[in-house]
Amino acid sequence: MCFPASPAEVAAAVAVAARHDRPFVARGSGTGLSGGATPVGRPVVIVTTHLNRILDVDPAARVAWVEPGVLNLDLSRSVSHLGLHYAPDPSSQAACTIGGNVATNAGGPHCLASGVTAAHVLALDVVLADGSIAQLGGLEPDQPGYDLRGCFVGSEGTMGIATRVAVRLTRDPTVVRTLLLDFTSVEAAGATVSGIIAAGIVPAALEMMDAEITRAVEDYVGAGYPRDAAAVLLVELDGLEAGVAAQVEEVRAVGREHGARSVRVAADERERALLWKGRKSAFGAIARIAPDYYLHDVVVPRTRLVEVLLEVYEIAEEQRLTMMNVFHAGDGNLHPLIVFDAREPGVWPRVTDAGDAILRACVAAGGVLSGEHGIGLEKRDAMPLVFGPDDLDAQARLRDAFDPWGRANPDKVLPRGSRCGELGVVPEGAWV
Amino acid sequence: MGVTPDAEQAVAAAVGAASTVVPVGAGTQREVGGPVPTGTEVGAPSGIVAYDPAELTVTAGAGTSVDELDAALGAHAQECVLDPRDRRATLGGLLAVGLSGPRRLRYGPLRDRVLEVRFATADGRLVRGGGPTVKNVTGFDLPRLLVGSFGTLGVLTRVILRCQPRPALSRWYRAPGEPDAVRAACLAPSTITWGPDGTRVLLEGHPDDVDAQAAAAELVALPDDGPAWPDAPHRGRVSVPPGQVRQVGAGLAALDGVVWLAEWGVGTVHVGAATEDGLAAARGVATAAGGWLLRESGAPTLDGFGVALPASEVMARVKAAFDPTGKLAPGRLPIPGAGVAAPGVVSGGRIGGPARA
Ligand SMILES: Cc1cc2nc3c(=O)[nH]c(=O)nc-3n(C[C@H](O)[C@H](O)[C@H](O)COP(=O)(O)OP(=O)(O)OC[C@H]3O[C@@H](n4cnc5c(N)ncnc54)[C@H](O)[C@@H]3O)c2cc1C
């Protein structure tokens, strides 16, 4: 394990790995939830936390060059006095790195309208698996040739290590309104989500929390969430005065139409911050319920949200598990959260069986395996659920074009046998 | 031809069988970039496959025209921000060339619209990349790889695109002052153009907000659909870091017979020239400002790109992995060594393997 302090040191570490024909694994803060940074096969682990400088901020161009170990929230804080922020805001933003965000194509509550990490990364310096350094993308709007920058974002460390990142900064909105809608059924909350989108509104954020997590959060932070709600929606609208005011009324009307018990608009910044604190402390809150949790991340077409959510509850019941849901409803990104005590005999197989069942339910509804946490090790062998052999082969070709030596985090994302002609092709539908 | 799996398979079979493949759409961007080779012309099926306004996504054959897509989405007060110069362009052609439209300042580049692609590979298979949902990190980003690849990695057959609600009002304005002043005064203008005729602004949104922003920036409403984009026998587009646009403008203003208009805050400068030499001189201006000029039309003896590709070794390996014999749109992109697999890379048959039966 090494802690390089400059891009040259990253390149040197990669070159050492190359010389000894050992794999290497990049690691940021290690908050990843799919095992992308987990060392497999005695790799050199290259930790980026000492590469933590904000190198340059250009307020006129709204661009910042940062090192990969800069924490997401530190970047936004450092430009807030300019009326700017870095838009992707994973719930882990106080702890995760920009490099990790780039590698996982991280999302967050506010990515609904503004897009996930891929839409905010302009250019990257990367160390390739042979130790050479390449710049991908650029500050000019177009570069000739293939969009290697776009390919690298979300590649989970399998195409090289980012050592410098140019990100787009976003201007703070003039007006922000945050609403809390309270429902007596998850169906009503789900229908409201679809209703809002169908009304032609794409909120800045549209989050849903079910009964159990709402209670847990309320007990933990006292944000003023209704303890008896079956589900709540947290809706944030931003932009300019008239448009936001009109949308607040429309969201209120859609909510009422679907039976919202109450619609509360945060009166001031303090109340707004408290509502968000509730949402963002969900994972802290559950620690008071049971010592362990397994957080899932799947996406379904947003019109199938309720149907899949109900299936998730059935799965929990079948496996006799506590399942809570706090998620990015606006883009159909579910986060079923299984809360358990690993000391309970026989609980683990039930937890993993429930995870399998959730994936299958989601894929059956036309969904995908991950919306923001990535594939890593966790879902690698489930890839054939959504991709055929030819699709996986094409992805393997792309990955190998970046790293023909197979040294950059080689055991992640693609299941063994993805390359056509490679032995041991995973049978279709088989996984884990 | 409807967009059926059979129709897509037929495209794949045609691609697989041909020795040189020329993907064709509506021909509106034939002259962009490198020259179109001669070979077997392959088009994609056209038509809308699925559109659920509540999903804000649309699935369509790559041969569908932007006009047709606009009509379908417009019926539900939605749009997909593609904004090609010529709306007869097909989705496949537009994505393959990869040029963004003028509302990029607000809505981002073309590549951000694409959720899923299906394409025919050089060896005649159909491959799907990305996924149908609006958020997805399942596997590597083949959609972004294909956008701007000029047909050199595969022939797009079907795509899923992201849509958005149409703004209640879109209106063009003339700005009395500097483009930076407009950018400071307006929260999210859709377009700011800057050129010899000054600054123009496109504002979109709630009518009261548009009015308020226009008042704050002292804008004057225009009755038309915006500025005239440079038109001339020889056209190109300059790409420079946004901070260099002023320098490019000054350089272009000094050239005879050259018309131009910049997208402020983006770094794209559209250029038209009366002569081929004029466009070559404009390229010189772009290069001096740290950018480059893409030939868009005319100027037949000018190189399409005029620059070497960045990270060209990786690009060459990508090309070799997807098209080991170099049969797909040869010459459209200046990939070094395209047509011959990079030595020492395609080893052990791991990439660029033979076609499967
Ligand atoms: C409580 C909690 C909440 C979370 N909420 C969200 C959320 O809302 N949205 C979301 O998207 N994620 C969320 N996550 C997941 C995680 O925080 C993100 O995936 C984050 O992007 C990982 O950053 P990291 O620095 O911790 O990376 P790591 O965990 O260290 O690494 C993640 C992956 O990135 C690779 N990597 C790291 N640095 C580099 C680099 N410089 N170059 C190349 N590859 C690199 C690693 O090899 C690995 O594959 C959450 C996690 C927790 C624990």
Chain segment A327-385, per-residue pLDDT in tens: 999 999 999 999 999 999 999 999 999 999 999 999 999 999 999 999 999 999 999 99
Sign of the alpha-carbon dihedral angle for A161, A164, A166, A172: positive
Predicted ipTM of the assembly: 0.95
Residues B139, B104 share a domain: yes
**What length does chain A have?**
432
B250-265 per-position pLDDT tens digit = 999 999 999 999 999 9
Query: Do A190 and A279 contact (CB within 8 A), yes or no?
Result: no
Query: Do B293 and B237 contact (CB within 8 A), yes or no?
Result: yes
Residue partners of A229: CB distance under 8 A and separation at least 6: A182, A183, A184, A211, A214, A261
* CATH number of the domain residue B268 falls in: 3.30.70.2740
Please report the residues numbered 73 through 132 in chain B whose beta carbons come closer than 8 angstroms to any beta carbon of chain A: 77-78, 98-100, 104, 108-109, 111-112, 121, 125-129, 131-132
Q: Report the half-sphere exposure of A259 (CA within 13 A, side-chain side).
A: 12
CB contact under 8 A, B242 and A118: no
A280-334 per-position pLDDT tens digit = 888 888 888 889 999 999 999 999 999 999 999 999 999 999 999 999 999 999 9
> Is residue B352 domain-resident?
no
- Which atom, in ligand 1's list, is nearest to the CA of A26? 47
Residues B119, B46 share a domain: yes
Locate A384 and state its tokens: 């054939």
> Is residue B357 domain-resident?
no
pLDDT of residue B225: 82
**CA–CA distance, A155 with B141 (Å, rounded to integer):** 8
Residue A399 forms contact with B (CB below 8 Å): yes
* CATH number of the domain residue B95 falls in: 3.30.465.10
Lowest mean pLDDT among A145-159, B96-110, B200-214, B219-233: B219-233
Residues B198, B161 share a domain: no
Please report the residues numbered 199 through 228 in chain A whose beta carbons come closer than 8 angstroms to any beta carbon of chain B: 200-202
| Most B-contacting residue of A117, A140, A372 (CB-CB within 10 A), to test interface | A140
> Is residue B240 domain-resident?
yes
pLDDT of residue B338: 65
pLDDT of residue A188: 97
Locate B252 and state its tokens: 């272009």
Nearest Cα residue to A159 out of B139, B240, B87, B16:
B139
Query: Do B338 and B319 contact (CB within 8 A), yes or no?
Result: yes
Read off the amino acid at residue A248: V
Nearest Cα residue to B250 out of B183, B194, B306:
B194
> Is residue B355 domain-resident?
no
**CA–CA distance, A25 with B135 (Å, rounded to integer):** 26
- Which of B205, B305, B322 has its CB closest to that of A240? B205
Residues B210, B83 share a domain: no
pLDDT of residue A187: 95
Q: Give the C-alpha distances (Å, rounded to integers) separating B127 from A223, B163, B325.
A: 48, 23, 18
DSSP state of A339: E
Range A199-214 average pLDDT = 96
**CA–CA distance, B269 with B264 (Å, rounded to integer):** 9
Question: Number of structural domains, chain B?
Answer: 3
pLDDT of residue A421: 58
Nearest Cα residue to A203 out of A258, A263, A246, A169:
A246
Count, in order, helices (H) and strands (E) of chain B: 10, 17
**CA–CA distance, B35 with B51 (Å, rounded to integer):** 35
Nearest Cα residue to A76 out of A104, A103, A114:
A114
Residue A31 has pLDDT above 70, yes or no: yes
**CA–CA distance, B113 with B116 (Å, rounded to integer):** 10
> Is residue B259 domain-resident?
yes
CB atoms within 10 A of CB A432: 12
Residues B173, B158 share a domain: no
Chain A nearest C-alpha distance from B53 (Å): 7
A125-177 per-position pLDDT tens digit = 999 999 999 999 999 999 999 999 999 999 999 999 999 999 999 999 999 99
CB atoms within 10 A of CB B126: 22
pLDDT of residue B309: 95
Residue B341 has pLDDT above 90, yes or no: no
**CA–CA distance, A147 with A119 (Å, rounded to integer):** 13
- Which of A119, A146, A375 has its CB closest to that of B138? A375
Residues B263, B292 share a domain: yes
- Which of B125, B131, B311 has its CB closest to that of A148? B311
> Is residue B277 domain-resident?
yes
Query: Do A15 and A137 contact (CB within 8 A), yes or no?
Result: no
Range A169-186 average pLDDT = 97
> Is residue B351 domain-resident?
no
Q: Give the C-alpha distances (Å, rounded to integers) separating B11 from A390, A412, B29.
A: 16, 33, 21
CB atoms within 10 A of CB A58: 15
User: What is the DSSP secondary-structure string of B189-235?
Assistant: -SEEEEETTEEEEEEEE-HHHHHHHHHHTT-EE-SSSSPPPP--SEE
Residue B30 has pLDDT above 50, yes or no: yes
How confident is residue B224, by pLDDT bands cut at 50, 70 and 90? Answer: confident
Q: Report the half-sphere exposure of A241 (CA within 13 A, side-chain side).
A: 7
Question: Which domain, by its residues, includes B178?
Answer: 169-221
- Between B221 and A281, where is the model more confident? B221
CB contact under 8 A, A140 and B138: no
Residues B276, B130 share a domain: no
Range B132-136 average pLDDT = 97
Chain B nearest C-alpha distance from A340 (Å): 27
**CA–CA distance, A138 with B240 (Å, rounded to integer):** 9
Residue A197 forms contact with B (CB below 8 Å): yes
**What length does chain B have?**
357
Residue A422 has pLDDT above 60, yes or no: no
Residues B176, B241 share a domain: no
Residues B159, B33 share a domain: yes
DSSP state of A36: T
CB contact under 8 A, B139 and A414: yes
DSSP state of A80: G
Residues B174, B157 share a domain: no
Residue located via tokens 């149409």: B166
Q: Which residue minimizes the CA distance to atom 16 of ligand 1? A: A32
Locate A281 and state its tokens: 């402390």
Residue partners of B348: CB distance under 8 A and separation at least 6: none
Range A35-53 average pLDDT = 96
Locate B71 and state its tokens: 């009509």
How confident is residue B206, by pLDDT bands cut at 50, 70 and 90? Answer: very high
Query: Do B141 and A153 contact (CB within 8 A), yes or no?
Result: yes
Ligand 1 centre to CA of A367 (Å) is 22
Residue B346 has pLDDT above 80, yes or no: no
Residues B183, B254 share a domain: no
B34-85 per-position pLDDT tens digit = 999 999 999 999 999 999 999 999 999 999 999 999 999 999 999 999 999 9
CA B343 from centroid of its chain's CA atoms:
32
Q: Give the C-alpha distances (Å, rounded to integers) separating A91 from A49, A150, A337, B86, B277.
A: 19, 23, 14, 42, 55
Range B189-205 average pLDDT = 97
Sign of the alpha-carbon dihedral angle for A253, A255, A261, A267: negative
H or E element, residue B237: strand B234-239
Domains, chain A, ordered by start: 7-171 (3.30.465.10), 175-283 (3.30.70.2190), 290-364 (3.30.70.2740)
A239-260 per-position pLDDT tens digit = 999 999 999 999 999 999 999 9
Query: Do B121 and B160 contact (CB within 8 A), yes or no?
Result: no
pLDDT of residue B288: 98
Locate A142 and state its tokens: 């177009």
What strands, in cross-sheet order, belong to the sheet with B268-273? B220-221, B169-175, B198-205, B191-195, B258-263, B268-273, B234-239, B292-297
> Is residue B119 domain-resident?
yes
CB A36 less than 6 A from any atom of ligand 1: yes
pLDDT of residue A127: 98
pLDDT of residue B226: 87
For residue B267, which residues of chain A lie inside 8 Å, CB to CB? 139-141
Residue A133 forms contact with B (CB below 8 Å): no
**CA–CA distance, A254 with A199 (Å, rounded to integer):** 8
Residue B94 has pLDDT above 60, yes or no: yes
Strands in A149-306 per DSSP E: 161-168, 170-171, 175-183, 205-210, 231-239, 262-265, 292-295, 298-299
pTM of the model: 0.95
pLDDT of residue B244: 98
What strands, in cross-sheet order, belong to the sheet with B57-61? B48-52, B57-61, B155-162, B114-120, B126-130
Residues B189, B53 share a domain: no
